[in-house]
């Protein structure tokens, strides 16, 4: 456990060579393209679903086209990033980290991250849960959306079931995204990380200590 | 880093796969869940307007229009023209229509996309009453409907149009005139057929020698849109409480 050592080696100021890379260009592009398509889906969903907005905006046919195709595009950035041999290696590594949960993660949920004894890795359990939920939600919205829009080949009851799931999950997605943005605002370093790709070593040692330890060990190797 | 990592499980993948599994189950069986929730909400909020329309699964109207904006006409400016193969072309004002013999219906509104609003209250004039007053020529076999959105069209055979559950409605969900989003001030309500037959923003009734497929029928929906017996659907009839 090289963690305590790395903490002692902390430079006193962030500015003293204290920035470490957190997200590479591929990851940031994947994040922001996904965000763009998600935002487009939500913005077009409002006038499709809520009658007063529908009346205000009209243009239903156009909105449907934009909504459907940005929904399909939602899966593209992640798949393209993962599939890219050359540009996707860090994305693939981080997805492995997000996928794997250990005892640390179940402890995180007991205190919602407040327990001072927690030593999260690059991603804490909340971040892992958020990523997994959004990934699952995008797939379910895609499935149900396809049944709603191209209903021809499916049994007619599926269209009602798909509509119900699509509506219900839409609310959950909005709640989770509002939470995601709320946490980002509360921890501005995370916004800098997903914009510039870098975080200060000090921030990382506080919020992702096991990750810093891991980085230092791989530097030594 | 091995201190707490006594176990490692692919929980992220399980969340994703679990959600996808639930999504498939929801597509296959969600209709019965929706029916249960919709029924419960309908008891509290008949017609599913207002906030109920925001609850997933609520039996509420979804507001459709085929044009870029919602057409709107005041009751003062509104006119309904009756034209075509008739001896007595007429133009009704809103007040003229309200002055004709009134018919009330409380029946469901069933959309071909699956949603249904139970026990909607409708009030208006029997379409057959308006046709009768127009003195139809023998050649006429069908009734065409035009919307003042300028695009939407529908039609019925003369037999279908003569039913006593087909009305030119000026009141719906207790609102008179019918609100713009629901096709007001005056719309058609064809109770035994899917919602696309119930032409919104009705501006002209034209007697014709043959049925002309309407807007959605050109895009693949059935011309004879009987609920439960067309468009590959098996919905129950719409007789309300």
pLDDT tens for the 221 residues of chain A, in order: 344 444 444 444 444 448 999 999 999 999 999 999 999 999 999 988 887 788 788 788 899 999 999 999 999 999 999 999 999 999 999 999 999 998 888 889 888 888 888 888 899 999 999 999 999 999 999 999 999 999 888 887 888 899 999 999 999 999 999 999 999 999 999 999 999 999 999 999 889 988 988 888 887 76
Contacts of B17 in chain A (CB under 8 A): 136
* Count of CB pairs separated by less than 8 Å, A with B: 159
Print pLDDT tens along chain B (241 aa). Answer: 444 455 789 999 999 999 999 999 999 998 888 888 888 887 777 766 667 777 887 888 888 888 877 788 999 999 999 999 999 999 999 999 999 999 999 999 999 988 889 889 999 999 999 999 999 999 999 999 999 999 999 999 999 999 999 999 999 988 889 998 899 899 999 999 999 999 999 999 999 999 999 999 998 899 999 999 998 888 888 875 4
On whether any CB of chain B is under 8 Å from the CB of A161, the answer is yes
Question: Same domain for B65 and B116?
Answer: yes
Question: Same domain for B146 and B218?
Answer: yes
| Rg, C-alpha atoms of chain A | 21
First-residue to last-residue Cα distance in chain A? 15
Question: Domain-by-domain residue ranges, chain A?
Answer: 23-196
B34 closest CB neighbour out of A59, A132, A164? A164
Nearest residue of A to residue B1, measured between CA atoms: A1
Contacts of B28 in chain A (CB under 8 A): 158, 161
Contacts of B63 in chain A (CB under 8 A): 51, 54-55
Full residue range of the structural domain in which residue B71 is found? 61-241
Rounded to whole angstroms, how far apart are CA atoms A22 and A122?
A: 8
Helix orientation angle between A76-83 and A25-49, rounded to the nearest 10 degrees: 160
| Chain A interface, best mutation among B55, B62, B114, by max A CB count within 10 A | B114
Helices and strands (H and E) in chain B: how many = 5, 10
Nearest residue of A to residue B51, measured between CA atoms: A50
Q: How far is CA A178 from CA A173, A185, B142, B204, in A?
A: 8, 11, 54, 48
User: At CA B115, angle to CA B70 and CA B199, rounded to 5?
Assistant: 40
Question: Same domain for B237 and B132?
Answer: yes
Question: Same domain for B42 and B125?
Answer: no
- Write the pLDDT tens digit of every residue in A201-216: 999 988 998 898 888 8
Q: Which pLDDT belongs to residue B60?
A: 82
Q: Is residue B223 part of a domain?
A: yes
Instruction: Classify domain A23-196 by CATH number.
Output: 1.20.950.20
Q: Which pLDDT belongs to residue B94?
A: 97
For residue B103, give the H/E element and its range.
Answer: strand B103-110
On whether any CB of chain B is under 8 Å from the CB of A174, the answer is no
Do the Cβ atoms of A143 and B233 come within 8 Å?
A: no
ipTM of the complex: 0.85
Q: Is residue B5 part of a domain?
A: no
Q: Which pLDDT belongs to residue B6?
A: 58
Q: Which pLDDT belongs to residue B240?
A: 55
Contacts of A95 in chain B (CB under 8 A): 12
| Chain B interface, best mutation among A140, A141, A218, A221, by max B CB count within 10 A | A140
Question: Same domain for B52 and B147?
Answer: no
Rounded to whole angstroms, how far apart are CA atoms A59 and A44?
A: 10
A98 closest CB neighbour out of B12, B24, B114? B12
Nearest residue of B to residue A171, measured between CA atoms: B56
Contact of A161 with B29, CB cutoff 8 Å: yes
User: At CA A104, angle to CA A116 and CA B20, rounded to 5?
Assistant: 130
Which CATH number is B233's domain given?
3.90.420.10
For residue B153, the cross-strand partners are B146
Contact of A139 with B19, CB cutoff 8 Å: yes
| Chain A interface, best mutation among B7, B8, B13, B16, by max A CB count within 10 A | B16
Q: Is residue B108 part of a domain?
A: yes
Question: Same domain for B39 and B90?
Answer: no
Question: Same domain for B40 and B134?
Answer: no
Contacts of B26 in chain A (CB under 8 A): 140, 144, 161-162, 164-165
Contacts of B68 in chain A (CB under 8 A): 58-59, 62
Nearest residue of A to residue B34, measured between CA atoms: A164
**Shortest Cα distance, chain B CAs vs residue A25, angstroms:** 23
Q: Is residue B197 part of a domain?
A: yes
Question: Same domain for B150 and B35?
Answer: no
Q: What is the DSSP string of chain A?
A: -THHHHHHT--SSTTTT-EEE-S-HHHHHHHHHHHHHHHHHHHHHHHHH-HHHHHHH--HHHHHHHHHHHHHHTTHHHHHHHH-TTT-HHHHHHHHHHHEEEHHHHHHHHHTT--TT----SS-HHHHHHHHHHHHHHHHHHHHHHHHHS-TTS-HHHHHHHHHHHHHHHHHHHHHHHHHHHHHHHSHHHHHHHHHSEEEHHHHHHH-HHHHHHHHHHHH-
CB-facing half-sphere around the CA of B210: CA atoms within 13 A: 2
Residue B179 DSSP one-character state: P
Question: Same domain for B78 and B45?
Answer: no
Question: Same domain for B39 and B133?
Answer: no
On whether any CB of chain B is under 8 Å from the CB of A79, the answer is no
């Amino acid at each position: 456990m090289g963690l305590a050592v790395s903490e002692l080696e902390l430079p006193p100021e962030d500015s003293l060579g204290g920035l470490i890379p957190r997200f590479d260009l591929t990851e940031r592009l994947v994040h922001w393209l996904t965000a763009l398509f998600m935002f487009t889906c939500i913005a077009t969903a409002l006038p499709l679903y809520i009658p007063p907005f529908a009346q205000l905006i009209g243009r239903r046919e156009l909105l449907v086209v934009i909504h459907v195709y940005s929904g399909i595009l939602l899966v593209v950035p992640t798949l393209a990033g993962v599939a890219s041999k050359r540009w996707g290696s860090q994305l693939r590594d981080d997805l492995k980290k997000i996928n794997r949960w250990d005892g640390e993660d179940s402890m995180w949920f007991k205190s919602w991250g407040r327990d001072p004894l927690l030593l999260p890795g690059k991603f804490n359990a909340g971040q892992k849960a958020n990523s997994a939920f959004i990934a699952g939600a995008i797939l379910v919205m895609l499935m149900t959306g396809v049944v709603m829009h191209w209903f021809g080949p499916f049994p007619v009851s599926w269209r009602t079931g798909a509509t119900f799931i699509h509506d219900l999950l839409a609310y959950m997605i909005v709640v989770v995204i509002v939470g995601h943005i709320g946490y980002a605002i509360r921890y501005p370093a995370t916004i800098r990380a997903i914009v510039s790709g870098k975080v200060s070593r000090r921030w990382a040692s506080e919020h992702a200590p096991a990750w810093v330890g891991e980085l230092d060990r791989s530097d030594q190797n | 880093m091995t201190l707490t990592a006594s176990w490692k499980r692919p929980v992220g993948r399980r969340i994703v796969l679990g959600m996808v599994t639930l999504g498939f189950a929801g597509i296959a069986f969600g209709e019965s869940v929706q029916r249960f929730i919709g029924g419960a909400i309908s008891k509290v909020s008949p017609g599913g307007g207002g906030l109920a329309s925001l609850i997933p699964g609520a039996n509420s109207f979804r507001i459709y229009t085929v044009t870029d904006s919602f057409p709107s006409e005041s009751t003062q400016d509104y006119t309904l023209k009756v034209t075509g193969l008739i001896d007595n072309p007429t133009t009704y004002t809103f007040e003229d229509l309200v002055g004709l013999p009134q018919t009330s219906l409380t029946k469901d509104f069933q959309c071909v996309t699956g949603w249904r609003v139970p026990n909607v209250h409708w009030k208006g004039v029997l379409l057959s009453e308006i046709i009768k007053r127009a003195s139809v020529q023998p050649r006429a076999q069908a009734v065409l409907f035009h919307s003042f959105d300028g695009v939407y069209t529908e039609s019925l055979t003369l037999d279908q149009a003569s039913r006593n559950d087909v009305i030119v409605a000026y009141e719906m969900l207790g609102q008179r005139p019918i609100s713009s989003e629901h096709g007001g001030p005056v719309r058609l309500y064809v109770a035994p057929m899917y919602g696309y037959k119930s032409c919104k923003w009705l501006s002209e009734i034209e007697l014709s020698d043959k049925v002309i497929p309407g807007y959605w029928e050109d895009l693949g929906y059935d011309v004879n849109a009987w609920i439960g017996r067309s468009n590959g659907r098996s919905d129950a009839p719409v007789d309300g409480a």
